[in-house]
Amino acid sequence: MTNPSLPQSTRLSFSGKTAELTRDTLTDSGVVLSIGGAEQSHVEVADPSFLLHDYIRRMRAVLSNTLTAAPATALHLGAGAMTLPRWLQQRWPEIAQTVLDIEPELVDFVLEHLPLEPRPENIVADAAAATAPDGVLSGRRFDVVVVDLFNSAQAPEPITSAEFFAQVMQLLTPAGKMLMNFGDEADMSFVRGLVGRLMQAVEMGGFSSEQALLNAPDAVLGAAEEGNLVFAVAAERAFTDAELSRIWAAGPHPGEVLTGSELQQWCR
């Protein structure tokens, strides 16, 4: 598939911001989705297995090295340009995917210019309301749940609370995996508190700290640089030493994978 005619843009009615698809000058067939002028996603149209950004490569490392069977279902809270759904579709063609976004126009706009077949189920809703006990996702379970809703301390409280994270973890199948992407300034003050609330949710869900991990560049974990981190939860059991070694080896490097007591200490 070649790049569509670009640039293309549309007005998003919930935020009032403009979503724009533009060509990327760094790669052969890259397309960038920006919302309100801020880059949100990068898609390599000709090769969905090519993942440009550090955080999404770390997500791939977790999924590639911990899923013991092909996932049948995936839920994405925050649609973007659907970079990870495209990779999942290429890796496991039979997977059924659901994307949820609060912007009514976003998914149709992206898929009009960057098609994905089969087309994922599209839910327009607030993530906190949708994952509540009486929400639209009530009673549903997924093998993979990806949370990619915010990237700074300006995130709304309802989607940064321990209660919300616990609700999300309840959507996992018994062997499911949850992955979450978030970022912060170099001091990591927001993220340390956020990961602390994630660990509270882990405990609320009856999981152990060994069933959670944090994967990020060394400089980000060391509060020397701003950047993104990936948090993951395994519903079935603790991550094994072999899995953690494979996740670390998959990179990107330099980076570190923290779990158990090391992760708890990092939060403090």
Angle between helices 189-204 and 162-169 (to 10 degrees): 50
Alpha-carbon dihedral angle through residues 98, 102, 106, 108, given to the nearest 10 degrees = 50
In this predicted structure, the answer to whether residue 20 has a pLDDT above a threshold of 90 is: yes
Q: Among residues 237, 162, 163, which one has the least CA distance to residue 207?
A: 237
pLDDT of residue 4: 63
Sign of the CA dihedral running 131, 112, 58, 93: positive
Tell me which amino acid residue 102 is.
I
pLDDT of residue 103: 97
What distance in Å separates the CA atoms of residue 219 and residue 217, rounded to the nearest whole number?
6
In this predicted structure, the answer to whether residue 31 has a pLDDT above a threshold of 50 is: yes
| Residue 26's pLDDT band (cuts 50, 70, 90) | confident
| Residue 3's pLDDT band (cuts 50, 70, 90) | low
Any idea which residue has 């599209």 for tokens? 122
For residue 145, what are the CA distances in angstroms to 88, 186, 229? 12, 27, 16
What share of the chain in percent tops pLDDT 70?
99
pLDDT of residue 105: 97
What distance in Å separates the CA atoms of residue 242 and residue 66, rounded to the nearest whole number?
10
Contact indicator for 88, 144 with CB cutoff of 8 Å: yes
pLDDT of residue 1: 46
79 vs 34, more confident: 34
Q: Mean pLDDT across the stretch 106-120?
A: 97
In this predicted structure, the answer to whether residue 2 has a pLDDT above a threshold of 70 is: no
Query: 53-267: which CATH architecture?
Result: 3-Layer(aba) Sandwich (3.40)
- Where along the chain do its domains lie? 53-267
Q: What is the pLDDT of residues 185-244, one digit of tens each?
A: 999 999 999 999 999 999 999 999 999 999 999 999 999 999 999 999 999 999 999 999
Q: Mean pLDDT across the stretch 22-39?
A: 94
Looking only at the bridges linking them, the beta strands covering 30-35 and 18-23 are antiparallel
Q: Among residues 127, 131, 185, which one has the least CA distance to residue 156?
A: 127
Tell me which amino acid residue 189 is.
S
Contact indicator for 184, 248 with CB cutoff of 8 Å: no
Please state the three-class secondary structure of the chain as a single string: CCCCCCCEEEECCCCCCEEEEEECCCCCCEEEEEECCEEEEEEECCCCCCCCCHHHHHHHHHHHHHCCCCCCEEEEECCCCCHHHHHHHHHCCCCEEEEEECCCCHHHHHHHHCCCCCCCEEEECCHHHHHCCCCCCCCCCEEEEEECCCCCCCCCHHHCCHHHHHHHHCCEEEEEEEEEEEEECCCCHHHHHHHHHHHHHHHHCCCCHHHEEEEEEHHHHCCCCCEEEEEEEECCCCCCHHHHHHHHHHCCCCEEEEEHHHHHHHHC
CB atoms within 10 A of CB 237: 12
What share of the chain in percent tops pLDDT 90?
93
pLDDT of residue 153: 79
Q: What is the pLDDT of residues 245-263, one digit of tens each?
A: 999 999 999 999 999 999 9
pLDDT of residue 268: 84
Mean pLDDT lowest among 108-122, 146-160, 230-244: 146-160
pLDDT of residue 98: 98
pLDDT of residue 154: 84
Q: Mean pLDDT across the stretch 143-159?
A: 90
